[in-house]
Structures are given as C-alpha cells and as structure tokens.
Amino acid sequence: MRAIWKGSISFGLVNIPIALYPATRKEELKFRLLRAKDLSPVNYKRVAEKDGREVPWGDIVKGYEYEKGKFVVLNEKDFQRVDLEATQTVDIKDFVDLDEIDPMYFYKPYYLEPQKGGDKAYVLLREALADGKKVGIAKVVIKTRQYLAGVKALKHALVLELMHFAEELADAEKLNVPKKLEVGKREKEMAEALVKSMTSKWDPEKYKDDYRDALLEVIEEKVESGGKEIEEKPKEKKPSTKVIDLVAVLQESLKAQSGGRKKKSAPKKAKHHVKKAA
C-alpha cells in the first residue's frame, strides 16, 4: 500500500510522525463509452463552451465563477497565498467523547501509520483515546483543501476519519417528517418484538453488494453468448405496499422472521471469470 500523505499528529507539545493510507477501497465496475456500430471506445475531450473547440491542457486555467458568467482566474501563487498553518500536520484542537458526535459528521476513514521515532507516542495516544473513549478533533490540509477530521483508536491502529463541517450538513428540520404521532400500544409492542427478533451481533462480512454480483453474472452471460441479448428471467411479484392493518403486517413479518431463522438456505454463489474492478 502506498502512503498518500506524510506529516505528523500534533497535540499540545506532542508531535508524532505519521503516514496516511486509504482505509477503504472501491469495488465499482468500470464501463467505457463505445460507438454502437463498431464498439470503438469514445474518448472525452476538453471542449470550450464558447466555440466548441478542443482545448489543450496548456491553455487551461482555474477560474471561480463569482457571478453568473463572470470568472476570476487563480494561479498557483494565489493558492500559496492562502496561509493555512501546519499543512503537513494533523493538528488536534480538542478531545471529545466519541458518543457525543453524530455519526452523520464522519464520512471517509484513513489509517495512520507511525514513522521512524513515532512508535511510543503513537501507542500512548492510541491507548489514551481507547481507554477514555475519546476522539481527537483535528484540522488537516490534504492537497489543496482543509478538512475537519477525527483521530480515533481502532484495535492496534489510529484512524483519521474525515468529517463534514457543520455548514455542510443539510438541516433535517426542513424535512416534512412527522414529529409527534400517537401510536397504539399493541402496534408499538409488535414493532419492538420484530426489532428484537431481527437483532443480532454486528458482522460486516455478512453484508455483500448484491447488485454488483448480479451485474457481474449478466456480464458473464453476455461474454459467453458473444454479446447477444440475454432473455430476461421472470421477476418475483412483489407484495402490495398498501398497508391496511399495521398490526397484521407486523404479525406476518414476525412469522416470516421466525420461519426464516429456522431454515436458512445457503446463498447461491456466482462463478466469476470476468475481470473484477480494482
């Protein structure tokens, strides 16, 4: 794995040299745009809106649209003038209780690996965060952007998780959702019973990307058929979504859930020889 950023964690007078590594990977299938008549790949071109002409990279500049149709150009010196302190530092500003932070704020994790001379301080920070159930709230500049981030302990590692700033989250209060609604005692008991019957230990390995697997099967069939159209299999009819009696629906769900736990069939495994996305 290749580090995408190197710098240090800083809090108080402590400085820990670290390297930043992606903690997630994308498993998306990649598609190319093709010309229908001969399957020739179609390439993207950088075309100017004004005259439709292709623009070479050397003639492209960065501009900010401050009014509709009006731009100001920024060059590398302009970006350098933005004086962001400690551009190579995960600068921890505060330590807060992890359970105080709404999970909506977190969105992208990275692993932090100690560099030469940083092992002891790394372990001390990791243990202090884990024992106190704390997260370090930091600011970090990656490439040309500053991020809010949380430094967390995860088993033997420290994780830097990028966070949304408060102004980036949409206000849920603007949604038209029921705030107070009387529910029947029996309905509530049935709903709680259904939740209880479906409660299990967290096992991330049990959740798979069904859409991606199904799409790979379609691709495999088309490859084997030489690109011919595949006859669509009849789909199962979905039950009506019209709810007449909520208690009856909850009872049926409980029955189905208890029956499903008694006889679980092994999921069908697809054979894939199609090249997978990296």
Q: Do 9 and 98 reside in the same domain of the chain?
A: yes
In a domain, 270, yes or no: no
pLDDT at residue 86 tops 50: no
**Containing domain of residue 109, as a range?**
5-25+82-168
CA distance 262 to 239: 22
Q: Do 158 and 226 reside in the same domain of the chain?
A: no
CATH number, domain of 147, equals: 2.40.290.10
Q: Do 212 and 140 reside in the same domain of the chain?
A: no
In a domain, 40, yes or no: no
Q: Do 10 and 132 reside in the same domain of the chain?
A: yes
Give residue-wise pLDDT tens across range 205-264.
Answer: 887 878 788 888 888 888 887 777 777 777 676 665 554 566 677 777 777 777 766 555
Give me the number of domains the chain comprises: 2
Q: Is residue 34 a contact partner of residue 43, using CB atoms and an 8 Å limit? A: no
The model's pTM is 0.67
How many CB atoms neighbour CB 178 within 10 A? Answer: 5
Look up residue 267 and give its DSSP letter: P
Ramachandran region, residue 250 (left: φ > 0; alpha: ψ -120 to 50; beta: rest): alpha
Helices (H), the chain: 76-81, 119-132, 185-197, 210-224, 246-262
Q: Do 218 and 161 reside in the same domain of the chain?
A: no
**Tokens 């009506």 identify what position?**
240
pLDDT at residue 188 tops 50: yes
